[in-house]
Amino acid sequence: MTLKEAREKAGIKREEAAVRLEVSVSTIYAWETGRRRPKRAFIKEMSKMYGIKATDIDLFTNHM
């Protein structure tokens, strides 16, 4: 499962994730496409928001 799939499964739009994390929509896109890697603090927040383990997000970003 990718970051995008996790976000979509949680029913969260990219724009909503950006607002909640206080980053730009383009940053969310960059994380989801593997162009950039989120810092640990963002990984922790995304895990809460998406309802998954933080370690799973690490695995997602490592395989992009």
- Per-run averaged pLDDT (10 residues), the chain, 64 residues: 90 98 97 90 94 79 53
pLDDT for the residue numbered 62: 56
What global pTM score does this model have?
A: 0.86
DSSP assignment of 1-34 equals --HHHHHHHTT--HHHHHHHHTS-HHHHHHHHHT
- What domains sit in the chain, N to C, each tagged with a CATH number? 3-62 (1.10.260.40)
pLDDT for the residue numbered 56: 81
pLDDT for the residue numbered 58: 65
Q: 4 to each of 49, 50, how far by Cα in Å?
A: 13, 10
